[in-house]
Amino acid sequence: MLSGWLLAYVAYDCFHYAMHHGGSGSVYIQRMRAKHMHHHYCQPNRGFGISSNTLDRLFRTMGEVGHGGVDASTAVFVTK
């Protein structure tokens, strides 16, 4: 059981790292990156899913990507 949790966390962390530092990727990855950057820098209380919108739709936590001037291609360089 512990090994399953550990594997899931490592997979999550790798995907999260890729959202911040990965290449351009497919259209899906670009959209998810834009949503993720919007979550970090514009609406931290929205858009929690980094690989899927399913739970954000279910819990009504979808963010409004495109509002606030966040661009996925430049947001990876923003630091807090």
Q: Is the pLDDT of residue 7 over 70?
A: yes
Q: Is the pLDDT of residue 14 over 80?
A: yes
> Residue 71 falls within a domain, yes or no?
yes
Q: How far apart are CA 76 and CA 74, in angstroms?
A: 5
**Counted domains in the chain:** 1
Q: Is the pLDDT of residue 15 over 60?
A: yes
Range of the domain at 27: 2-75
CA torsion through residues 52, 58, 63, 66, sign: positive
Q: Kindly state the average pLDDT of the residues 9-31.
A: 83
Q: Kindly state the average pLDDT of the residues 25-36.
A: 81
> Residue 67 falls within a domain, yes or no?
yes
> Residue 80 falls within a domain, yes or no?
no
CA torsion through residues 73, 44, 66, 78, sign: negative
Q: Whole-number mean pLDDT of the chain?
A: 75
> Residue 49 falls within a domain, yes or no?
yes
Burial of 20 (C-beta count, 10 Å sphere; 0-12/13-18/19+): middle
Task: Spell out the SS3 assignment of 41-64.
Answer: HCCCCCCCCCCCCHHHHHCCCCCC
> Residue 37 falls within a domain, yes or no?
yes
